[in-house]
């Protein structure tokens, strides 16, 4: 079902808009709260081929390509165009000496707005807020929510004097769960994630691991802040499971902020301030611990790949195929490109 939804979105026509003039390297555009902002420059990061590479496991991405070929269809360049898309932007009046920070906020509802109490915090810490309309929980993750977040970030970076190491993504509840996907898949853009009242485990069909170079960057340079109310027991439990999953995959740059006397919902200004201050702390993973963790994962993957080779050599192709699909679900992009080679070999051996 998810594959069919993605395919339908991938076939949407691409709409290009003329690029706006880039901001001067010293003088920034307008400050304050701006509603209905239109961006005009599409980022290559949101191209459909790049979304598939980063957000799907290798075997699922290959299956999407085969489905398109059988249907006589090709993948469009982008899942959407920016013409008609609207963004809410808040820019602090004073730019920090090292450049603004940026918080791309993925909302839960159809409309988006600057949450109450956030403006003074953004002013104090010099962080720009940007959020896309029509990117709430009812919208498609692959066709709108993540592409809009990517284009929000890259257009703000283009227009304003921004510190690239302080570009973050955040969200609440369902928006927070999408935030986690975006942070895992795009560590070269987002260097931190604010997970407010919503998180998931990784290494599964919904959140597969990205290719090795991206996972390595995520482990080394992305900081995650879990920000949940002490009365939101469901998501506190999910946060604990998510953090355990992150540690299993060598992501140790984790911070937890439990908000007193708070239920499920968007954090107030105090919670935002705590999260942004933590995100501003550069990750510094223990090199020995990280190396040992990566080595153990590589050992496990190598051993499981060897089992598939043995099954294939014994002519047990059905068993080899079942094992390969299991590896694809667990290791995702880490198993490529060998997983794709084995997939092709097993297909030919039918």
DSSP 99-132: -EEEEEEE-SSSS--PPTT-HHHHHHHTEEEEEE
Residue 328 φ then ψ, to 5°: -60, -40
Q: Residue 258's Cα: distance from chain center in Å?
A: 23
**Whether the bond into 242 is cis, omega within 30 of 0:** no
Residue 264 φ then ψ, to 5°: -85, 125
Query: Over the stretch 174-212, which tens digit does the pLDDT of each residue have?
Result: 999 999 999 999 999 999 999 999 999 998 778 999 999
Cβ 31 vs Cβ 91: under 8 Å: yes
Query: Over the stretch 207-252, which tens digit does the pLDDT of each residue have?
Result: 999 999 999 999 999 999 999 999 999 999 999 999 999 999 999 9
What pLDDT is attached to residue 27? 56
Q: How far apart are CA 199 and CA 219, in angstroms?
A: 17
Q: How far apart are CA 13 and CA 56, in angstroms?
A: 22
> Predicted confidence band at 340 (pLDDT cuts at 50, 70, 90)?
very high
Q: 339-343: list long-range contacts, CB under 8 Å, 24+ apart.
A: 339/58, 339/59, 340/58, 340/59, 340/62, 342/305, 342/308, 342/309, 342/312, 343/58, 343/59, 343/62
Please give the structure tokens belonging to residue 86.
């609207």
Q: Where are the beta strands (DSSP E) in the chain?
A: 32-37, 87-91, 100-106, 127-132, 162-172, 192-196, 223-229, 254-259
Q: Where do runs of H (alpha helix) occur along 314-337?
A: 317-331
* pTM of the full structure: 0.91
* Mean pLDDT score of the chain: 92
Mean pLDDT of 53-76: 95
Q: Residue 154's Cα: distance from chain center in Å?
A: 14
What pLDDT is attached to residue 298? 98
Q: How far apart are CA 329 and CA 284, in angstroms?
A: 29
Cβ 148 vs Cβ 132: under 8 Å: yes
**Closest CA relative to residue 189, chosen from 147, 228, 136:** 147
Please give the structure tokens belonging to residue 314.
């014994």
What pLDDT is attached to residue 349? 78
> Predicted confidence band at 17 (pLDDT cuts at 50, 70, 90)?
very low
Element counts in the chain: helices (H) and strands (E): 12, 8
Residue 24 has pLDDT above 60, yes or no: no
DSSP 54-115: HHS-HHHHHHHHHHHHHTT----S-S--STT--EEEEE-SS--TT-EEEEEEE-SSSS--PP
Q: Which residues pair with 91 in a beta bridge?
A: 32
Q: Residue with structure tokens 């070929």?
A: 69
Mean pLDDT of 63-86: 95
Q: How far apart are CA 191 and CA 211, in angstroms?
A: 17
What pLDDT is attached to residue 206? 83
Query: Over the stretch 109-132, which tens digit does the pLDDT of each residue have?
Result: 989 999 999 999 999 999 999 999
> Predicted confidence band at 29 (pLDDT cuts at 50, 70, 90)?
confident
Q: Provide the CATH number for the domain formed by 2-285 in this structure.
A: 3.40.50.1820
With vertex at residue 182, the alpha carbon angle to CA 290 and CA 76, rounded to the nearest 5 degrees, is: 130
Helix, strand, or coil (residue 164) = strand
Q: Residue with structure tokens 């499981």?
A: 304
Cβ of 156: how many Cβ atoms within 10 Å? 25
Please give the DSSP secondary-structure letter assigned to residue 141: I
């Amino acid at each position: 079902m998810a594959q069919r939804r993605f395919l339908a979105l991938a076939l949407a026509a691409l709409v290009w808009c003329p690029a706006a003039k880039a901001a001067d390297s010293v003088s920034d555009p307008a400050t304050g709260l701006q509603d209905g902002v239109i961006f005009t420059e599409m980022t290559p990061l949101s191209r459909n081929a790049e979304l598939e590479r980063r957000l799907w496991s290798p075997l699922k991405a290959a299956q999407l390509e085969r489905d398109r070929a059988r249907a006589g269809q090709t993948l469009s360049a982008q899942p959407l165009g920016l013409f008609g898309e609207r963004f809410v932007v808040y820019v602090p009046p004073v730019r920090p000496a090292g450049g603004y920070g940026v918080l791309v906020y993925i909302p839960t509802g159809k409309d988006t707005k600057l949450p109450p109490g956030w403006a003074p915090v953004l002013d104090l810490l010099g962080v720009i807020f940007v959020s896309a309309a029509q990117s709430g929980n009812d919208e498609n993750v692959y066709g709108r929510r993540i592409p809009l977040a990517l284009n929000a970030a890259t257009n703000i970076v283009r227009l304003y004097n921004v510190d690239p190491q302080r570009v973050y993504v955040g969200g609440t509840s369902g928006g927070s769960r999408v935030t986690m996907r975006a942070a895992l898949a795009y560590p070269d853009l987002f260097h931190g994630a604010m997970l407010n009242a919503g998180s998931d485990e990784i290494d599964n069909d919904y959140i597969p691991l990205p290719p090795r170079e991206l996972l390595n960057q995520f482990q080394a340079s992305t900081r995650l802040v879990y920000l949940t109310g002490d009365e939101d027991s469901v998501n506190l439990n999910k946060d604990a499971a998510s953090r355990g999953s992150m540690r299993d995959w060598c992501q140790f740059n984790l911070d937890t902020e439990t908000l007193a006397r708070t239920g499920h919902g968007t954090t107030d200004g105090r919670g935002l301030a705590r999260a942004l201050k933590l995100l501003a702390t550069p990750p510094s993973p223990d090199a020995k611990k990280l190396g040992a963790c990566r080595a153990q994962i590589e050992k496990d993957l190598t051993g499981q790949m060897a089992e598939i080779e043995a099954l294939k050599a014994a002519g047990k192709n059905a068993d080899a195929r079942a094992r390969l699909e299991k590896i694809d679900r667990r290791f995702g992009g880490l198993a490529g490109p060998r997983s794709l080679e084995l997939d092709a070999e097993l297909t030919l051996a039918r």
